[in-house]
Amino acid sequence: MNRRLWYIKNAALFSWLEDDELQRLASRSEMVECKRNTTLFFAQEQSDNIYLVKQGRVKLTRTSSEGREVILDILGPGEIFGELAIAGPVK
């Protein structure tokens, strides 16, 4: 859990949390290694996960109406995505 706590403490999104809240978040989190081209989730799917990139890069994409991949962003270590899941469904 110490490694998870270190990454969470160093993420700007969680900088306002107290130590006990950071500890609780770290205890409920998990570290997962993903291979290249792994799909974590699709935009139209419901999700309650927030992802923090530990190492490597993550490509955020959508598919255009013509079926082409549109790159929205490429994230690196320390960056977070999926945080909109905690805001609720988009209308």
Please give the pLDDT value at position 13. Answer: 83
| 63-80 average pLDDT score | 93
pLDDT at 24: 93
Q: Are residues 42 and 73 in the same domain?
A: yes
Instruction: Answer yes or no: is pLDDT of 70 > 80.
Output: yes
pLDDT of residue 50: 86
Residues 2, 18 share a domain: yes
Whether residue 50 sits in one domain with residue 13: no
pTM: 0.74
Which domain, by its residues, includes 14?
Answer: 1-31
Q: CA 75 → CA 35, 38, 46, 57, 81, distances in Å?
A: 15, 15, 21, 5, 8
Task: Give pLDDT tens digits for 26-63.
Answer: 998 988 889 998 988 877 777 778 889 989 999 999 98
Domains contained in the chain, number: 2
In this structure, what CATH number is given to the domain that contains residue 48? 2.60.120.10
Q: Is residue 23 located within the same domain as residue 65?
A: no
**Are 65 and 90 in the same domain?**
yes
